[in-house]
Amino acid sequence: MDFFKLIGRCALILLLAVLCDVIGLIILLLGIFAPLSSWDFFVYLGAVLLASSLVFWMFWYTFNIEVPFRELGFN
């Protein structure tokens, strides 16, 4: 399968979703496993980034849905 066909039409939104996932997971794990005095800031920030990545994933999936023109009901 072609790589660009897997990415879809919204490459920027896909990049934002993956970046939020990676950075959020790193910050979340840093807050959980590192002996920091303000660990709750890192845990909450990582969780917020992971939650916002779900919004980007939903946008990417929704914008890549292809519906044939005949099935839209316009004649």
Sign for the pseudo-dihedral over CA of 27, 33, 39, 43: positive
In this structure, is residue 21 part of a structural domain? yes
The answer to whether residue 71 is domain-embedded is: no
Q: What Rg do the C-alpha atoms of the chain give, in angstroms?
A: 18
pTM metric for this prediction = 0.79
Assigned domain for 14 exists: yes
Report the pLDDT value the prediction gives residue 38, as an integer from 0 to 100.
Answer: 79
Report how far residue 28's alpha carbon sits from residue 45's, in angstroms, rounded to the nearest whole number.
7
Tens digit of each residue's pLDDT, the chain (75 residues): 677 777 888 889 999 999 999 999 999 999 888 887 878 889 999 999 999 999 999 999 999 888 887 887 776
In a domain, 70, yes or no: no
Q: Which domain holds residue 8?
A: 3-65
Residue type, 74: F
Domain count, the chain: 1
In this structure, is residue 72 part of a structural domain?
no
Residue 32 falls within a domain, yes or no?
Answer: yes
What pLDDT score was predicted for residue 9? Answer: 83
Q: Is residue 26 part of a domain?
A: yes
Report if residue 73 sits inside a domain: no
